[in-house]
Chains A and B, each alone.
Chain A
Amino acid sequence: MTLTIRNASKTYPDGTRALLPTDLTVGEGEILSLLGPSGCGKTTLLRIIAGLETPDAGTQVRFDDEDVTRLAVERRNVGMVFQSYALFPNMSVRANIGYGLKVRKVPRAEREQRVDEVLALCRLGDYAERAVTALSGGQRQRVALARAMAPRPRILLLDEPLSALDAALRDSLRDELAAMLRQFRITAVFVTHDQAEALAIADRIAVMSQGVMQQVGRPEELYREPVSSFVARFIGNAMPLPGTIADGHLILPGGRLPLAAGTSDAEVFVRAEDVHLDEAGPLSGTVETVAFSGGHYRIGLAGVTGETLFATHPGRQAPRPGDSVRLRIDAGDLLVLPQDRS
């Protein structure tokens, strides 16, 4: 199913604008992530798609050719995984998963068969008769996913599906969730504030901030070609290089960097992995901190920009704090963005 959203916005009765007019299209079988810090409007948009939130007039939500904007949530046929999972504590795992089929009056035999299928897909067969209160966090998440999928929804919506888990579990379940979503081959929208989650799971990511959709694209696009400083900072932690631009160069406290021709009135960013230690480099700085993290060193440098600039150094040896070093940043690795007006 293709999801099309036109002009979606939400204003609360107290005047707070949670979501400013937004357009979005999610293709058949595509997994799209709504990514942004808390309060950016991503959950509001998800709830508008589900029908749990009444959007402002002018909003249009379409499932394929059908306009569902005014269709009640219980008739939209969406599957939703809630942040808290919201499993029904009065029912067993099997009854939870079968609930959507039961309220739709699917005959018992067919219902049992569908539940068994989903139980197997989500590797929950051994837990079918258990009480949901007796499950671990990861198992609960799978039950929530199985329950949402059992009635064969038109679209799957996930609201921070991993945030209720502890950090160690989250990493392993992230890949598991990605694999399961691919297996279902369903159009899916999932909300997260964690860029690693979005990068690992989504086909495309929509970055949101303060009720505005900043950029929509494949993970690589967002990483390599961010359109705003917000996206650059949020995805891959790009660091600003605040300096003045004069005759084709960026002038920093630690030296001059050549820029592409015709650049003026711009903000320049760089990522730690693109800052190289190089004795012949044009920039100079002083090592402040050195942290070893397995495959590389993370080196904090003072004196290059006003703040600490980090460099990822892959060598076998690292300079010591206090050492003076020279640095190189290739012109192609600089992210040159228009000035942020906000």
Chain B
Amino acid sequence: MRLTLPRLLQLAVTLLTAAFLIVPAIQSILAGLTVNYFRGLSSGFTLRWVGEVWRLYADSILLSMGLAVACLGVTLVIGVPAAYALAKNPGRLSRILEEFISLPLAVPGLALALALLQLYGSMTGFRTSWTFILVGHVLYTLPFMVRSVLAVLMAMDLKSLEESAATLGASTVTRFRTIVVPNAMPGILAGALTVVTLSIGEFNLTWMLHTPYLKTLPVGLADSYASMRLEIASAYTLVFFVMIVPLLMAMQWATDRAQRISR
């Protein structure tokens, strides 16, 4: 392959774009690992700031993980049967319901949070519990689960598959368990991936709903940028990366695996 001028330009633009995206990330990671950011890398590397982040924000990290798992659980229990019901009854009412479920996507998280606060803010026990944030996260992530599962269910001949299972003696529950769920698995996993990622990263709705004792990972990050030294905030970013990247990779792997035939 000869390096002509257009090719050189292409390469330059690609490299510049990549650098534009990756340099700040590298800089931030390095900032979290240097002894003193203002003196530069010559001050040496340390894990002290990472330790400091753990000491200050371990609760936020655990809360975010717990929230993500709980949110995934709730969206699975509500979202998969909901998508199934929508796929089975392809009428106008179903389309309206589908749009209704998707409404939180169009409404800003702040507005959603305000509505929740107005309605439930006076219920002190609920307001100060982590389940209050969970409700917000479920509202926000549910449409992703429903749409992802619905897309897969609509792509297959659900009616014939269920009817043939029925003639073979399978009850409604058995059909759902052995035919619907396994065949919807790629959609369920893709939805799960989205839900967990969104729940861990969600900021603006959570920021409105949180209390001083309930800070999630991104809320803690904002807090550390606002009130700690830059090295701690950068180390925090590093912790965030380390947590979410393996999670993304594991989910991606699971999605690929589900698409292959399972016996």
Contact = CB atoms under 8 A, between A and B. Distances in A.
Interface in A89-144: 89-92, 95, 99-100, 103-104, 131, 133
B168 A151 contact: yes
A86 B170 contact: no
Contact of B161 (A77, A79, A88, A131): A88
Contacts of A84: 157, 160
A147 interface: yes
Contact of A86 (B164, B171, B178, B263): B164
Q: Indicate the member of B156, B168, B182, B183 with the most A CB atoms within 10 Å.
A: B168
A100 B174 CA distance: 11
Given A90-B261, A92-B263, A95-B263, A100 B160 contact: no
Q: What's the interface size class on A, roughly?
A: 20 to 34
A294 to B, nearest CB: 40
A52 B163 contact: yes
Contact of A104 (B169, B182, B183): B169
Contacts, number: 74
A100 to B, nearest CB: 4
Contacts of A148: 167-168
B166 interface: yes
B167 A50 contact: yes
Interface in B44-93: none
Interface string A34-77: 00000000000000001110000000000000000000011111
Interface string B169-200: 11100100011001101000000000000000
Among A76, A77, A82, A133, the one with the most B-chain Cβ atoms within 10 Å of its Cβ is: A82
B167 A75 contact: no
Interface string B242-263: 0000000000000000000111
Contacts of A86: 157, 160-161, 163-164
A310 B163 CA distance: 45
A88 B183 contact: yes
B165 interface: yes
B263 A103 contact: no
A80 interface: yes
A74 B175 CA distance: 11
B260 to A, nearest CB: 9
B262 to A, nearest CB: 6
A78 interface: yes
11 contacts: A74-B169, A74-B170, A78-B167, A80-B163, A80-B167, A90-B183, A99-B165, A99-B170, A103-B174, A131-B261, A133-B261
Interface of B: 156-157, 160-161, 163-171, 174, 178-179, 182-183, 185, 261-263
Given A50-B167, A82-B163, A92-B261, 4 more contacts: A92-B263, A100-B168, A103-B170, A103-B178
